[in-house]
Amino acid sequence: MNEIQRAKIALKILNKTYPRISVPLKSRNIFTLLISVLLSAQCTDVNVNNVTKNIYPKYYKPYHFKKLGRKKIEKLIKKIGIFRVKAKSIYKLSVLLIERHGGKVPKTFEELERLPGVGHKTASVVMSQGFGFPAFPVDTHIHRLAQRWGLSNGNNVVQTEKDLKRLFPKKNWNKLHLQIIYYGREYCKARDCYGLTCKICSSCYPDRKKPLKTKKA
């Protein structure tokens, strides 16, 4: 079985398992989506949502966070990991959005990735979930699953993204990256399946006998 066949198997199972998919991070607009994705680094979506549900009703524009200042932002997000670093990024990117983009989130990867605290993965999520632009955000979980399913060699997340984009139709990307994340959380967990027991792993590699050790991102 080659990688194209494995990709078809994975897509079929994912579509059957998750015919409808929702965005895990709660947001009020594209700006708050950007903030939530930034906050989600090294933090669960549940924790981010629990914190932001008390922030976004009142603060949801770059102007709001500029006025708050870094110290007050820190107090609002102190229950989230590395909150001081994130507060600094949120304040700086809010100022830059006002100064360079009229208070609006830019619609290109290049402009997004120039913002403080925004890397390629964060930009991809905003482009995909915020603007509906075909993108394939790859986090550590997708990186791990792509290896287990034989869709990428796992050298790094950049290569994994290229491999997945090559194997799956562009029309599926925005929904598919969320389907993979949900499937990984429910059926192909980091410390559970090990490439042996879930439906996708057992279908793609029916003769695999030993746990697969994946490369870290």
CATH number assigned to the domain with residue range 30-130, chosen from the 4 options 1.10.340.30, 3.40.50.2000, 2.30.42.10, 1.10.260.40: 1.10.340.30
C-beta separation of 148 from 132 below 8 A:
no
216 classed as catalytic:
no
Q: Is the pLDDT of residue 217 over 80?
A: no
CA–CA distance from 27 to each of 11, 73, 129 (Å)? 28, 17, 11
The pLDDT score that the predictor gives to residue 174 is 95
CATH code reported for the domain at 3-21+136-204: 1.10.1670.10
Locate the domains of the chain by residue range. 3-21+136-204, 30-130
Q: Which of 8, 121, 165, 171 is catalytic?
A: 121
What pLDDT, in 10s, does the model give residues 92-117? 999 999 999 999 999 999 999 999 99
Q: How far apart are CA 34 and CA 37, in angstroms?
A: 5
Mean pLDDT of 180-185: 95
Q: Which of 12, 139, 162, 215 is catalytic?
A: 139
Percent over 70 (pLDDT), the chain: 100
Mean pLDDT of 45-53: 96
121 classed as catalytic:
yes
CA–CA distance from 134 to each of 36, 168, 180, 205 (Å)? 20, 12, 16, 29
Greater confidence (191 vs 73) lies with 73
